[in-house]
Amino acid sequence: MTEIDTQLVAQLTEQETQEILKLASHYDYPQAASIEALKIVQHYRGWVSDESLQAIAKLIEMSAEELDSVATFYSLIFRSPVGNNVIMLCDGITCWMHGCEQLKNCLSEKLGIDYGETTPDNQFTLIPVTCQGACDRAPVALKNMKLHTELNESSVLALTTLESQNRLGGSK
Amino acid sequence: MSLPEPTQRPLTQHVDHNREAYNLAEYEAHGGYESVRKMLTELSPSAGLELLKASDLRGRGGAGFPTGMKWSFVPMQSEAERLANPMQKYIVANADEMEPGTFKDRVIMEGCPHLLVEGMIVGAAILQATTGYIFIRGEYIEAAEKLNRAISECREKGWLGKNILGSGWDFDLHVHTSAGRYICGEETALLNSLEGKRATPRAKPPFPQVSGLWGKPTIVNNVETLANIPNIINYGAEWFKGLSLTEDAGTKLYGVSGRVNKAGCWELPMGTTARELLEVHAGGMRDGYKLKTFLPGGGSTPLLLPEHLDTPMDYTHIGKIGSRMGTGTMIMIDDQVDFLGALKNLEHFFAQESCGFCTPCRDGLPWVEKTLDKIIRGKGTSADIEWLDRATVNLNMGFTFCAHAPGAMGPLESALKYFRAEFETRIKLHHSETV
Ligand SMILES: Cc1cc2nc3c(=O)[nH]c(=O)nc-3n(C[C@H](O)[C@H](O)[C@H](O)COP(=O)(O)O)c2cc1C
Ligand code: SF4
Ligand code: FES
């Protein structure tokens, strides 16, 4: 790598770089780790900035443009900042029959935000997600990727209590 | 270790939500990985494939395609050729499970991750594949962790890696976690996604069996399909066929969701009726709710009516009454649900999840959603119903690049057939108001 490339990659922490390279070793072509690499960075930073994107692209030998076209395709990759906690409410058919729209209204009212928005204190982002494969326990939501099932108005509001830890992120 | 007596529930016999899933030692103590031993010490790859064909196993991902036949298109090398220079081939588990209303593969992966891993190793031994991937949806974090643990145990024990059981065959397996988008479950889109690209489908032919992942022969199967293979190898094709009540072989992971008393997922003989699933296993509809219609196997399967409840739930029988068994997880829609609203919910999903590659789907599905919305808001006209009728032709098989848009037409077409009056009533209401 040239010096500029090295500087670019240095945008990533040692930990992120090592985790990405380890995943890349599962494939004959490092590009195959693109989605997982984006998820690793998102796991630590909450979202994927332009700088992170360029660094990852360099590391796995893709152009930043190509990686961005991948990043923007997948719904669980965030290319803009999100709150410290991301609440994803399932709007699949079974959860819909079990009143997910009412749950959404409860959350919106409490937090003062609509889908796709973040609270002014940067604590919560609210996003709809497709069927979570837990329809036998509908209605469901993910908070910071953790599944909460058989929600009602009070348990969905309980999701808005703050725990200081974990940001959003996929498994690595 | 000798094999335990065969069971009636080969997929879920070890699934028990009251304890941790079996680790490798526990799984082996219950006959785990014996199918791999048998495959590598007693059976040739072609004998393994013959068993699979004879078992009549059909794909559990939705289409019900015969697995043995699908596998028979993979190019094979002679033993000598392979030992000298093994052909790169891949086996991929489709663990995307994003069909609305579907929650069955999760049960296997969380409840008995070693069963899927065993299915992939024994399947790879039949195909003489060199590398395997489990393509799992991003939200299934617990399942992915359990699978990774099972895989490391297998590497340590030698069920994965170089020269497995001294056979001269090397095989390794990895978990690939995805990041959303329903289209990733379509098998050629899945391959693009696994290569790190946008998940758009590929043209067929060439079929993945010949030219799949990075242009190499590749088999993609659903989790439940692969999980059936170990016991077919252990106990044989006749045993597998004997599990079923009808001509479609084996057991099936069925599910029921909606406003029923006990929603859930159960492994039962293939061909169990929808009525038994609803009334016995799911405890019937909740008090005050009557069944109006149901989707037999996920969001893309055409609606059926209460009068169809006695039909055996298998590929053949459900196909004959104009629907598809799909994933076998039924969504019950009751009489108090705003029916057109439910339909709009489904079409919204399909519109949002279109990969955007071909025009009828990318432009047509949002228009379907918009038209339904217009009718629901009381602004529709009879021309809108006619437009929906045309959509069920123009967005259907043969007019789109993949089966996504045709899948979206399943519930719409059947809704127009069985519940046309509901569309017309909303329009008449509007008409009488405006005249
Ligand atoms: C839009 C779309 C989404 C699909 N999603 C899945 C899925 O999530 N899981 C799955 O196993 N098959 C899915 N399929 C079916 C796959 O294309 C393929 O038929 C299946 O993985 C083959 O495995 P099987 O023969 O074991 O069923 C999907 C198909 C389409 C058209
Ligand atoms: S039918 Fe839809 S999902 Fe399939 S290729 Fe066309 S646009 Fe993509
Ligand atoms: S519809 Fe919400 S989990 Fe399936």
Note the pLDDT tens digit of each residue in B275-315.
999 999 999 999 999 999 999 999 999 999 999 999 999 99
Instruction: Find the ligand nearest to B99 CA.
Output: 1
List the 97-156 stretch of B: residues with Cβ below 8 A of A.
97-103, 105-106, 133, 137-141, 144-145
Instruction: Find the ligand nearest to A96 CA.
Output: 3
For A92, the closest of B100, B181, B255 (CB atoms) is B100
Categorize the per-residue pLDDT at A171 as very low, low, confident or very high, splitting at 50, 70 and 90.
very low
Print burial letters for B1-31: b (CB count within 10 Å at least 16), e (below 16): eeeeebbeebbbbbbeeeeebbebeebbeeb
Ligand 2 binding pocket, CB closer than 6 Å = B 183, 201, 354-358, 361-362, 400-402, 404-405
- Rounded Cα distance between A26 and B195, Å, is 11
Taking the Cβ of residue B259 and every Cβ of chain A, the question of whether any pair is shorter than 8 Å is answered with: yes
Asked if B193 lies within 8 A of A129 by C-beta distance, the reply is no
DSSP A110: H
pLDDT exceeds cutoff 70 at B222: yes
DSSP A140: -
pLDDT exceeds cutoff 70 at B137: yes
pLDDT exceeds cutoff 60 at A166: no
Categorize the per-residue pLDDT at A6 as very low, low, confident or very high, splitting at 50, 70 and 90.
confident
C-beta B87 within 6 A of ligand 1: no
From chain A, the residues in CB contact with B291 under 8 A are: none
The residue written with tokens 């016991």 in the block is B231
Tell me which residue has its CA closest to atom 1 in ligand 3: A92
Output the pLDDT for position B361.
98
Q: Tell which atom from ligand 1 comes closest to the C-alpha of B404.
A: 1
| Listed residue (B345, B301, B352) closest to B323, CA to CA | B301
- Rounded Cα distance between B8 and B268, Å, is 8
The DSSP bridge pattern shows strands A146-148 and A141-143 to be: antiparallel
From chain A, the residues in CB contact with B134 under 8 A are: none
Output the pLDDT for position A169.
45
- CB-based burial of residue B48 (10 Å sphere; 0-12 exposed, 13-18 middle, 19+ buried)? buried
Is residue B294 a contact partner of residue B331, using CB atoms and an 8 Å limit? yes
* Residue pLDDT, tens place only, B349-365: 999 999 999 999 999 99
Output the pLDDT for position B431.
63
Single-letter code of the amino acid located at B213 = L
From chain A, the residues in CB contact with B179 under 8 A are: 35, 38-39, 74-77, 170
Asked if B197 lies within 8 A of A93 by C-beta distance, the reply is no
Q: Which residues contact B75 (CB under 8 A, 6 or more apart)?
A: B87, B210, B217
What does the pLDDT average to over A56-68?
Answer: 96
pLDDT exceeds cutoff 60 at B111: yes
What does the pLDDT average to over B330-348?
Answer: 98
Taking the Cβ of residue B369 and every Cβ of chain A, the question of whether any pair is shorter than 8 Å is answered with: no
Is residue B275 a contact partner of residue B299, using CB atoms and an 8 Å limit? no
Asked if A130 lies within 8 A of B100 by C-beta distance, the reply is yes
Output the pLDDT for position B164.
97
Kindly write down the DSSP assignment for every residue of B57-99, as one continuous string.
Answer: -B-TTTT--BHHHHHTTS----HHHHHHSPPP-EEEEEE---S
- Rounded Cα distance between B36 and A149, Å, is 37
Asked if B105 lies within 8 A of A77 by C-beta distance, the reply is no
What does the pLDDT average to over A69-92?
Answer: 97
Instruction: Find the ligand nearest to B136 CA.
Output: 1
- CB-based burial of residue B362 (10 Å sphere; 0-12 exposed, 13-18 middle, 19+ buried)? middle
Asked if A33 lies within 8 A of B144 by C-beta distance, the reply is no
Taking the Cβ of residue B346 and every Cβ of chain A, the question of whether any pair is shorter than 8 Å is answered with: yes
List the 21-80 stretch of B: residues with Cβ below 8 A of A.
none
* Residue pLDDT, tens place only, B397-430: 999 999 999 999 999 999 999 999 999 999 887 6
pLDDT exceeds cutoff 60 at B234: yes
pLDDT exceeds cutoff 60 at A167: no
The DSSP bridge pattern shows strands B264-269 and B251-258 to be: antiparallel
pLDDT exceeds cutoff 60 at A39: yes
Asked if A33 lies within 8 A of B196 by C-beta distance, the reply is yes
Tell me which residue has its CA closest to atom 4 in ligand 2: B402
| Listed residue (B3, B92, B67) closest to B249, CA to CA | B67
DSSP B244: -
Taking the Cβ of residue B404 and every Cβ of chain A, the question of whether any pair is shorter than 8 Å is answered with: no
Single-letter code of the amino acid located at B415 = A
The alpha-carbon radius of gyration of chain A (Å, integer) is: 18
Peptide bond into A128 cis (omega under 30): no
Across the A/B interface, how many CB contacts are shorter than 8 Å?
139
Q: What is the ipTM of this complex?
A: 0.95
Output the pLDDT for position B241.
98
Output the pLDDT for position A164.
53
Categorize the per-residue pLDDT at A7 as very low, low, confident or very high, splitting at 50, 70 and 90.
confident
* Residue pLDDT, tens place only, B2-47: 788 999 999 999 999 999 999 999 999 999 999 999 999 999 999 9
